[in-house]
Structure formats: C-alpha cells, structure tokens
Amino acid sequence: MIIISAKELMARYNELRQGDIFVGKLGAGELKSFLLVDLLERGVCCVPSPLSQIISGSKVIQALLLNKWMLPNTLVISRRKNLIDAITRYNSLGIQSVITKEDRMHCGFGIRKWDSVETLYSFVSMSESSYPFILQPFMENFTDIRVVVAGDYVEAYTRHNPDNFRMNMAAGGSSSPFLLDEEKEKLCRAVMDRGRFPFAHIDILIASDGKYYLSEIALNGGIKGAAIGRTELEQRKKEITDRLVGKYEKK
C-alpha cells in the first residue's frame, strides 16, 4: 500500500503494515516525531525520510545532530543550567555579542541579538517557556548563502541586507548568484547524507576569514532570488521521490 498524503495516512494509520510506503510530510506538531518513530518501528517506509522530516522541522534538533558543521560554540539551551554554563564558557572565550534562534520559527523572525549572554539570562530567567533555543556567537561580517539541492541540480545565491543583520529575503534583503565551489558543495552533501535528506534548501554562512559553516537546512524553503522556478523545482523533487518509492517497492 502506498499512502500519498498526511490526511490519508491518518485515515488509514492502523491499516499500515511492514513494507507499506508513506509519501509526504507530516505537519509540525508535538505528535510528529512520535508518529514517525512508530512508522519506523512498524517497518513502514517514508519518503522523505523520518529523520529529514524531524531535522527540517526543528532548529534545535539541527544544532544537536549537525553541530560539527555549524559555527563553533553553537549551543542548544534547553534549561537554565545550560545558560549559566554558557555564560562561563563564552566569557572565558571573550565572546560578547550573541544571537539566539527560536525553535520552529522561520523567515528570520525568531533570530534575536543580545549584547551578552548575561543580558540574555536576565531576560529568559523570568520565563521557562523560552526554552529550548539555540545560542551562537554573533558574527559581525559574513556572507549569507542559500543553496538549493535537488539531485544533480545545485544552485546558490547570496542574500544581503545592509540595514539588518537578518539576511533573509523576508527581512528586505536582495540577492545575487553565487558560484558554489566543490568544498562548499561537499559540506552540503555531507549534511544531507547525515540527515537523510533527498533534497534540501541549505543556508551557509561564510565568515570574513573564508571559513564557512552550516546555518540551517530544510526540505522546503523560499527560492526568491533563485534562477529555478517553483514548478521546475517541485518536478525535480517529485522525480527524486518517485525513484525512492520505486526502490522501496522492489525490496
């Protein structure tokens, strides 16, 4: 049996058996991870992979699983003790300004800049609902790159806003084509392999010293500024999905 939508999945959820295939993405919500784990345990094949769906939907999970590709000293703050430890760590490294990323917030709306971790602590210590979030050193000068990968198709472009450190197009930024070199594409492919992403929208930060780091990754994302159109991109993603479904059917 092949299920091709989340609605159909929920309607026939208890009918699924080992070897059945679910093609689609579950919406964000507290039950998403539990449902995907249950499908895995029951031997139901999922396209895109459950791991990629979980990673794509949570910046915090990305920082946990993909941390080695991210800016050094990127931390997941899940409770007050983590933040107290971060104060000591960042102060010992001479790190002052920091940013936080709110989990499951998109288009740059969940990114906030703080003068110090101590200032951040004074704010969030009054509200336990702020956790979990990502904490990173603030990078003063960097180039923001969006990379779109769908099989052999790879396209990259810069996003720039001289009036806002949030470079997202939604924040009023502009874009220009970017020639992605082999090493940066290797980073993208390595991150996709780790997260079992069949296709991806990947954000990379290039520091002033030329070093580059993963910022975020998602199964879907904006393509404002890209040469490829939405219709063509979705067709490429469908072709990849169909090939994966075909492989599962043969097993």
Tokens of residue 162, six digits: 């001289």
For 46, phi then psi, to 5°, come to -125, 135
User: Would the pTM count as exceeding 0.85?
Assistant: yes
Q: Which listed CATH number (3.30.2270.10, 3.20.20.100, 3.30.470.20, 2.40.50.100) goes with 142-241?
A: 3.30.470.20
Domain 72-137 class?
alpha beta
Q: What is the pLDDT of residues 4-43, one digit of tens each?
A: 988 999 999 999 999 999 999 987 676 788 999 999 999 9
Give the pLDDT band (50/70/90) at residue 201: very high
Give the pLDDT band (50/70/90) at residue 51: very high
Percent of the chain past pLDDT 90, that is, above it, reads 77
Q: What is the pLDDT of residues 221-241, one digit of tens each?
A: 989 889 999 999 999 999 999
Percent of the chain past pLDDT 70, that is, above it, reads 94
pLDDT, residue 172, reads 65
Q: What is the pLDDT of residues 83-139, one digit of tens each?
A: 999 999 999 999 999 999 999 877 677 889 999 999 999 988 877 778 999 999 999
* SS3 of the chain: CEECCHHHHHHCHHHCCCCCEEECCCCCCCCHHHHHHHHHHCCCEEECCHHHHHHHCCHHHHHHHCHHHECCCCEEECCHHHHHHHHHHHHHCCCCCEEEEECCCCCCCCEEEECCHHHHHHHHCCCHHHCCEEEEECCCCEEEEEEEEECCEEEEEEEECCCCCCCCHHHCCEEEECCCCHHHHHHHHHHHHHHCCCEEEEEEEEECCCCEEEEEEECCCCCCCCCCCHHHHHHHHHHHHHHHHHHHHHC
| Residue 157 CA to its chain's centroid (Å) | 17
pLDDT, residue 211, reads 97
**Mean pLDDT, range 166-187, rounded to an integer:** 84
Domain ranges of the chain: 2-47, 72-137, 142-241
